[in-house]
Amino acid sequence: MGQASLTGVRAKLRVRYLDWRTAYERDTVVRHLEALALELERRGWRCVRTYQEVVPVRTPLLRVYGGRMAVTLCVLAVPERRWGIHEAARGRDGFVCHCGGDAALVVDRFLRRG
């Protein structure tokens, strides 16, 4: 009984730590979103950056439009000091891919499949 409850506490602490890291390292989040937006725009997608607003938003978001498709993406901290691109509406459950490398290609395929 004690081990099961300790496992639940560890999971909650891990999520809290990742949320704290995402908020604390906002510049990193914005840098990843900007790199993704530039690459997606080169692939023909139209992007709206909410993190460049005059009024600061809590979570930087990237809204991507193309044809009849629209999706809102965010960057969240994931374990092992990495960053992941997520569907904003689904939060941590909406993981799409890790940042960097072929992230734009993966997101492009995700959007075309949509």
pLDDT digits (tens, 9 = 90+) for 19-70: 999 999 999 999 999 999 999 999 999 999 988 766 667 889 999 998 788 8
Is the pLDDT assigned to residue 79 strictly greater than 80?
yes
* pLDDT given for residue 2 in this prediction: 52
CA–CA–CA angle 81, 91, 106 (5° rounding): 70
Residue whose entry in the numeric block shows the structure tokens 């044809």? 67
Phi first, then psi: give them for residue 22, nearest 5 degrees.
Answer: -65, -45
